[in-house]
Amino acid sequence: MRNAFAVLAGLLLAALLAAGCDATPTPAPASGPLNVVPVTPVPNLDDAIAVAETFLNAWVNGDYDAMHTLVTPNSRDTYPLEVFRALYEEATKKMTLIDLSYEPLNASVLQGTTAGFAYNMHFRTQVLGDFTDPERIMYLLPTVEGWRVAWSPSDIFFEMVKGAGLKLERVAPARANVYDRNGHVLADQDGVVLTVVVTEQNMPNYESCLHELARVLRLSIDSLREKFDERPDDWVTIVDEIDADIYEVEGARLEEVCNASFEERRTRRYYGGGLASHVIGYVGYIPAEQCGEWELRGYTCDDLIGRVGVEKWGETILAGHRGGRLSIVTPSGERLRQIAEDEPDPSQAIYLTIDRDLQLAVQQAISDGYNNYPLYFASVATGAAAIVMDVRTGEILAMASYPWFDPNIYNPDTPRDAQAELLAIQNDPHLPQLNRATMGVYPPGSVFKIISMTAAADSGVFGLDQTYRCTGEWFTPDGKDRRIDWKAGGHGVITLRQSLTYSCDPYNYQIGYELNQEDPFLLSKYAREFGLGEPTGIEQVDEDGGLIPDPDWKRTRNGTWTYSDNVNMAIGQGDVLVTPLQVARMMAAVANGGTLYQPQLVHHVGIIGEEPTWTMEPIAQRKVNVKPEVLEAVQQSLCAVTTDPEGTATWRYENMEIPTCGKTGTAQAGAALDYPHAWFAAYAPADDPEIAVVVLVEHGGEGSYVSAPIVRRIIEAYYGVPLTPYPPDWNYEIPPIVEGQSLGE
């Protein structure tokens, strides 16, 4: 090998000389008092090798400035630092370079005043994998500065002369689909959608058309009315897009009532035009400021990537691994050499834990409440969230946040007026992009009394059958602090168990007061034991950790903890903030006997027709440290909420086919005259729990009035039993909030 390199060294040295690279540079001007002319050092191969390795080490470290100081003065003149650096940065980008290394060969030579350093260069790249450019030679010349690299772009790759450069031809596999747990499509790369087109003046009946569009598209009537109000009556309006299977069922009805027409197109479609949109997310163009980062991963700046939700979380799964071919080409496009090639790895489909039919039923239950009862909570509520969780595994079977959005409008090829719709979403005060299920934080209200009862009994401060006379009022021992119950006159003499079933505020005030006397950290400790005030660990969507206050937290706010803080927390008020997902995980733990599972949204991953490459396993985060008899008593009290004559939700669960246990909550929030948040947290069936269901209606009113009927409908949909009509009291105008009034449950 050494002889071969020596011959090559001679040939290349001749080329260097012919190109004007002087082996003996012109001496620098005399300087100093003695006017001594600098002397070119005597050639020494070991010294040349040391400079070559320093140069390559600088390349490995990406220190292009240091590399530039080690090239000959002539090379520095020909390739100033800015040009030199740009050539290496462009090469890094084209190769999608991650890192590199070199391996010296025992074939370095010294021929006359020229040294040739022989080495292999190893490249590790994002797109092309690992490859080696073997048996390279770097030429060095002696200068007054010492040995220096006789550098040209051929030192990046040998054929990079006369303007030739690197070209990366990327090969991207088709983006994979997202499915539900049963293989029903949720996001389809080559899906068929039908654009719904309507002209207002051609509608046989305007109001009937609005109601049918709202029902089929699960949009609010108000949003549709605004869309038509913004346009002249004789203008064609692209209302939305529907899936082919929905068209088969509903197309004729929309043609009859709205005189609608439909236009078919293929695109990455999101089933249902907003089904689980906060979970699935959407794709969009790479942001300009992130372009360089994505190019290093093999993307081009006009590629689509997952921007939110599962589409973002699963980008590398859904997009696969991009392959490509790296070549050196002339300015005219002639390929001089292929350096490396790597075939793409196929993309893989993601199967969610979501059940598509159940998700549809959950969203329909919420939208029906908003659209069909405009005088009731729909007139005041600012949003809603619903979660269905498998209590045995932590799998999320449905997750909805209202108002939802249509992810199809983020797709650049949509025929709709996407800019206007996106602007409307961004300016909507109801924040459609906010995932209220995981990012919305709210006081839990009486749902927190599950924690209060548990802490009272498990700590031994209260007995399970300890009685208390609930007169409808509560006073501190000094009589200076008076608080009232939500039920005028109170509940009479009740036990700790009944305090949860009847949701007696005074009993829970007393719990908060006495627990604070015992240990001001006690109540917050039990809340955290059940996962409140901390992230749940869900990975595919963003979540807020909420807040469980305690004396340490209060000190960080320059405050002093008092009994009042604990009394407020005992009824889920004060500074307590939780997410609906945290409440669902808590209810699941109560239902399953105390295991806190990590909520999960991905069931398995794989290529269609092959064995999954990854399958979900339940992740038990911990077993709550609560006595079994206490947890059993809590379960019994929750089951009595829907069956005991005095239970706060019994009146909503009469003749319920599926025995259900749950807790109502009405949480004060905002200004004095703001409507409270309505909660109902439940699990079913009572005797062998399978699912936990939580519904929050933001500023919707009282939990038993508003959220409990929605939870009932969701449970009925899950078990496939007839749906109970929403209660007749929803047809009346929601009562106004009166300052100082006691809120119900």
Q: Domains of the chain: which residue ranges?
A: 2-27+37-158, 178-279, 281-352, 445-606+621-731
Report the distance separating Cα 219 and Cα 536, nearest Å.
30
Cβ atoms < 10 Å from Cβ of 610: 9
User: Options 3.30.450.20, 1.10.10.970, 3.10.450.100, 3.50.50.60; which CATH number does 2-27+37-158 get?
Assistant: 3.10.450.100
CATH superfamily of 178-279: Penicillin-binding protein 2a (Domain 2) (3.90.1310.10)
| Contact indicator for 335, 377 with CB cutoff of 8 Å | no
Distances (CA, A) of 241 to 160, 409, 486, 504, 575: 52, 10, 46, 49, 43
- pLDDT, residue 368, reads 95
Residue with tokens 């669902």: 584
Q: Which tokens in the block code for residue 432?
A: 């459609």
User: Options 3.60.110.10, 3.40.710.10, 3.30.70.360, 3.40.50.2300; which CATH number does 445-606+621-731 get?
Assistant: 3.40.710.10
Pairing of strands 473-475, 482-484: antiparallel
Reported as a single tens digit per residue, the pLDDT across 79-123 is: 999 999 999 999 999 999 999 999 999 999 999 899 999 999 999
Mean pLDDT of the chain: 90
Instruction: Give the residues of the chain that fall short of pLDDT 70.
Output: 1-42, 191, 265-266, 413-416, 740-741
- pLDDT, residue 266, reads 67
User: pTM, whole model, 2 decimals?
Assistant: 0.81
Reported as a single tens digit per residue, the pLDDT across 188-229 is: 987 677 888 898 888 999 999 988 888 888 778 888 888 888
Distances (CA, A) of 309 to 213, 425, 517: 27, 17, 45
| Contact indicator for 472, 488 with CB cutoff of 8 Å | yes
Q: Which tokens in the block code for residue 549?
A: 């206050």
Residue with tokens 């770097």: 138
- pLDDT, residue 415, reads 64
CB-hemisphere CA count at 13 Å for 58? 18
Pairing of strands 349-352, 602-606: antiparallel
